[in-house]
């Protein structure tokens, strides 16, 4: 009979530390803080130095790892969609920024739009969050918020002054 890892030591501690991005998962508004502190710089760097295909591949791997970490982490914590685990928020932001031109203005707009859509839980995100079990349910609603944001950014970018996008 295998014993479930303890969140206080070893494997469980590593999963929870990674899933919370260290201290970021323990601050108020942890999801928003995690995207602002870690997600925005990561997207900026990846979009500046990786092509769209490589960015998408890294995002897919990150999403897969996040699903697993949220599944294991929530079981360790005895919670569903623990606010301490914030990788799901980054997954949504990665999707939101996959095809838009990158500039400080587009990143800022995408940040606020994605966070608002994620917090409101625009359908079907609310259904996924409630009905899909485990890590896929936790990450799935953020992926939907990211997809909505991505679509909205296509429209927004057309109306931004050209010097905001460069």
Report domain extents, the chain. 10-165
Q: How many CB atoms lie within 10 A of CB 62?
A: 16
Residues sharing a CB contact under 8 Å with residue 121, sequence separation 6 or more, in sequence order? 129, 141, 145
> What is the pTM for the complete model shown?
0.91
Q: Taking phi first (over 0 means left), then psi (-120 to 50 degrees means alpha), and beta for anything else, what does residue 10 get? A: left
Beta carbons of 144 and 122 less than 8 angstroms apart: yes
One digit per residue, pLDDT tens: the chain, 166 residues?
A: 445 555 667 899 999 999 999 999 999 999 999 999 999 999 999 999 999 999 999 999 999 999 999 999 999 999 999 999 999 999 999 999 999 999 999 999 999 999 999 999 999 999 999 999 999 999 999 999 999 999 999 999 888 888 777 6
Can you give the pLDDT at residue 162? 81
């Amino acid at each position: 009979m295998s014993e479930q890892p303890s969140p206080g030591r070893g494997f469980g501690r590593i999963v929870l530390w990674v899933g919370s991005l260290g201290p970021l998962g323990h601050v108020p508004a942890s999801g928003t803080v995690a995207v602002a502190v870690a997600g925005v710089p990561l997207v900026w760097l990846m979009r500046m130095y990786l092509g769209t295909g490589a960015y998408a591949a890294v995002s897919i791997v990150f999403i897969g790892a996040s699903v697993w970490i949220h599944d294991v982490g929530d079981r360790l914590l005895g919670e569903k969609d623990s606010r301490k685990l914030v990788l799901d928020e980054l997954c949504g932001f990665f999707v939101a920024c996959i095809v838009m031109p990158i500039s400080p203005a587009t990143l800022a707009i995408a940040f606020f739009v994605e966070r608002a859509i994620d917090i409101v839980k625009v359908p079907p995100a609310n259904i996924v969050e409630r009905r899909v079990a485990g890590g896929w349910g936790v990450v799935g609603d953020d992926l939907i918020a990211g997809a909505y944001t991505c679509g909205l950014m296509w429209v927004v970018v057309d109306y931004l002054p050209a010097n905001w996008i460069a």
